[in-house]
Amino acid sequence: MSLAATCPAVGSFYLSRSPRGTPRFKMAVRSGALSVAPILTNLQKDCATPLPVLRHVADAMEADMLAGLAVDGGSDLKMILSYVDSLPSGNEKGLFYALDLGGTNFRVLRVQLGGKEERVIATEFEQVSIPQDLMFGTSEKLFDFIASGLAEFALKEGGKFHLPPGRLREIGFTFSFPVKQTSIDSGILIKWTKGFAVSGTAGRDVVACLNEAMKRQGVNMRVSALVNDAVGTLAGARYWDNDIMVAVILGTGTNACYVERLDAIPKLQGQISSNGKTIINTEWGAFSTGLPLTVYDREMDDASINPGEQIFEKTISGMYLGEIVRRVLLKMAKDGDLFGSSFPEKLATPFVLSTPDICAMQQDNSSDLQAVGSILYDVAGVEANLRARKIVVEVCDTIVKRGGRLAGAGIVGILQKMEEDSKGLIFGKRTVVAMDGGLYENYPQYRGYLQDAVTELLGSDISKNVVIEHSKDGSGIGAALLAAANSKYEHDF
Ligand code: BGC
């Protein structure tokens, strides 16, 4: 069976990297290798997430949220105001665009909204992967790429999509990096994450960057909402279900947002919205308290382009899980006898093992773990025997279990905080957590571990009312809905 046939579709939740090409069979031969058993035992011990550890993480998440709401810079969690104070009602009408920049792909989307009766009349989208050099290039180059993609897409508009005469096309811009919002349609990039290192954007208003690029590319459109992907997911999911209170992204990176009462945000000092609520973007990827970390995590962090930052993200998200596993396997191959007396040098290349690879290995139910063998051969150029394949699967499971369970503890931390503020708001009724991102969508074991942790922490009674639900591509539609809500034109909804 070919490798392609054995790998599930795993989506785009990893950092794309140089093609693997044909496996190289460069092996160093060593003698005196030790058994890998103690390495595995230590890893499992260091990654363990029994209930007390989960509880500690959930409580720390709650405490960090409170500290971040009290004052800017009060904790690792930035608790950013989204300036979204009215969520979609279903009455939105008209043609709106969404732009989505946040991971390995860039997406453009248009939607024709038909109000309560017709809802979403039509949608169309296009997706392109972001060339690696743009992730490390200049701000102008990246935003020009986005603006020209948007221009091409807008030219193909037709069919069910109609713009009333005399109006500009309006865009919801989903920009999935930490941004200090200054209004619903402006915000300053705090820093890049997820392997992006574009020069000239941090400290600037990203909507201004996009506007300038649109001008250069001759695009006459208006950004009416700047939205984080978690916020877009919450808005998009809420369009269909009023019980959505929290949204979580688990993809290349990770984040969560939730509906907060304005009077529970001390740092706001008197700003008010019409209904007294807003969405807070937690930027929980930066959380770091009480996490069970290993030497492999620390080494990966040290070698990263943002050492000491985004520690929760580096422990639970799609960009990093495969890389952590690679580091463990490298240790087992170097110091132990994982692959007998040979040491596959290819395994020493950072990010050569991706999260979709470890996901595919974990789906292998064959008795000889054939797919595991093929992937190891392809990635590391190594012929692994059955014993080695089994160990590799155990390592993947250990890292994925820790990631999924910690993500679950994070969710419980948010729910706890909301319940603490308004008794009965969360635990007394059906509450929905909208989930999106390729890691959550495509990794069944990860999803299972996350749900287990939520159930363990909340107990079976309360957790029956807490629905953790995949909200596919909600963030694109959500951004378009927020563009509709913030349209500069008079709306008839
Ligand atoms: C970013 C967030 C984003 C998340 C998921 C993180 O790296 O800081 O803003 O929501 O990734 O895309």
Average pLDDT over residues 75-101: 93
Q: How confident is the model at residue 474 (pLDDT cuts 50, 70, 90)?
A: confident
Q: How confident is the model at residue 17 (pLDDT cuts 50, 70, 90)?
A: very low
Domains of the chain, by residue range, sit at: 41-81+241-472, 83-227
Tens digit of each residue's pLDDT (9 = 90 or more) over 109-145: 999 999 989 999 999 999 998 999 999 999 999 999 9
Q: Spell out the alpha helix ranges (H) of 93-221.
A: 115-118, 132-135, 139-155, 206-216
Higher pLDDT, 215 or 12: 215
Predicted local confidence at residue 21, as pLDDT: 41
Cα distance from N-terminal residue to C-terminal residue, the chain: 55
- Residue with token string 């997820």: 194
Distance from C-alpha of 173 to C-alpha of 246, rounded to nearest angstrom:
20
Tens digit of each residue's pLDDT (9 = 90 or more) over 483-493: 999 998 866 54
Distance from C-alpha of 155 to C-alpha of 221, rounded to nearest angstrom:
12
- Residue 328 φ then ψ, to 5°: -70, -45
Query: Token digits for 104?
Result: 């390995």
Lining ligand 1 with CB less than 6 A are 102, 176-178, 193-194, 228-230, 249, 251, 253-255, 283, 285, 313
Q: Are 417 and 346 in contact (CB under 8 A)?
A: no
Query: Token digits for 94?
Result: 């008209």
Predicted local confidence at residue 3, as pLDDT: 30
Q: What secondary structure letter does DSSP report for 200? A: T
Name the CA radius of gyration of the chain, rounded. 23
- Architecture category of domain 83-227 in CATH: 2-Layer Sandwich (3.30)
- Region of residue 294 (left: phi > 0; alpha: psi -120 to 50; beta: else): beta
**Residue 97 in this model has a pLDDT that exceeds 80:** yes
Q: How confident is the model at residue 14 (pLDDT cuts 50, 70, 90)?
A: very low
**Residue 272 in this model has a pLDDT that exceeds 70:** no
Q: Are 442 and 470 in contact (CB under 8 A)?
A: no
Is 194 an active-site residue?
A: yes
- Sheet (strand 254-261) strand order: 80-81, 277-281, 254-261, 244-250, 431-436, 466-470
Long-range contacts of 383-387 (CB under 8 A, 24+ apart): 384/338, 384/339, 385/340
Q: Are 457 and 413 in contact (CB under 8 A)?
A: no
Distance from C-alpha of 316 to C-alpha of 447, rounded to nearest angstrom:
12
Average pLDDT over residues 310-319: 98
232 alpha-carbon distance from chain centroid:
12
Task: Determine how β-strand 120-129 pairs with β-strand 105-114.
Answer: antiparallel
**Residue 155 in this model has a pLDDT that exceeds 90:** yes
What single letter denotes the amino acid at residue 206?
Answer: V
Q: Whose CA is nearest to atom 6 of ligand 1?
A: 253
Is 472 an active-site residue?
A: no
409 alpha-carbon distance from chain centroid:
16
Distance 83 CA to ligand 1 centre (A): 17
Q: How confident is the model at residue 343 (pLDDT cuts 50, 70, 90)?
A: confident
Predicted local confidence at residue 421, as pLDDT: 85
**Bridge-partner residues for 105, per DSSP?**
129
Distance from C-alpha of 428 to C-alpha of 419, rounded to nearest angstrom:
9
Burial of 283 (0-12, 13-18, 19+ CB in 10 A): buried
Distance from C-alpha of 300 to C-alpha of 48, rounded to nearest angstrom:
19
Predicted local confidence at residue 275, as pLDDT: 61
Nearest CA to 99 out of 476, 390, 373 is that of 476
Alpha carbons within 13 angstroms on the beta-carbon side of residue 49 total: 33
Q: How confident is the model at residue 18 (pLDDT cuts 50, 70, 90)?
A: very low
85, 144, 194, 331: the catalytic one is 194
Distance from C-alpha of 111 to C-alpha of 94, rounded to nearest angstrom:
8
Distance 401 CA to ligand 1 centre (A): 21
Distance from C-alpha of 220 to C-alpha of 169, rounded to nearest angstrom:
8
**Bridge-partner residues for 255, per DSSP?**
249
- Region of residue 203 (left: phi > 0; alpha: psi -120 to 50; beta: else): left
- Architecture category of domain 41-81+241-472 in CATH: 3-Layer(aba) Sandwich (3.40)
100, 213, 122, 441 alpha-carbon torsion, rounded to 10° = -10
Predicted local confidence at residue 11, as pLDDT: 36
**Residue 455 in this model has a pLDDT that exceeds 50:** yes
Predicted local confidence at residue 10, as pLDDT: 33
Distance 177 CA to ligand 1 centre (A): 5
- Region of residue 159 (left: phi > 0; alpha: psi -120 to 50; beta: else): left
Predicted local confidence at residue 271, as pLDDT: 59
Tens digit of each residue's pLDDT (9 = 90 or more) over 172-207: 999 999 999 999 999 999 999 999 999 999 999 999
Distance from C-alpha of 244 to C-alpha of 468, rounded to nearest angstrom:
10
Distance 295 CA to ligand 1 centre (A): 25
**Residue 7 in this model has a pLDDT that exceeds 60:** no
Predicted local confidence at residue 24, as pLDDT: 42
**Residue 339 in this model has a pLDDT that exceeds 60:** yes
**Residue 409 in this model has a pLDDT that exceeds 60:** yes
What single letter denotes the amino acid at residue 363?
Answer: Q
Average pLDDT over residues 209-232: 96
Distance from C-alpha of 100 to C-alpha of 161, rounded to nearest angstrom:
20
**Could you tell me the pTM of the whole model?**
0.92
64, 144, 205, 229: the catalytic one is 229
Tens digit of each residue's pLDDT (9 = 90 or more) over 21-38: 444 445 665 555 678 999
Mean pLDDT rounded to a whole number for the chain: 91
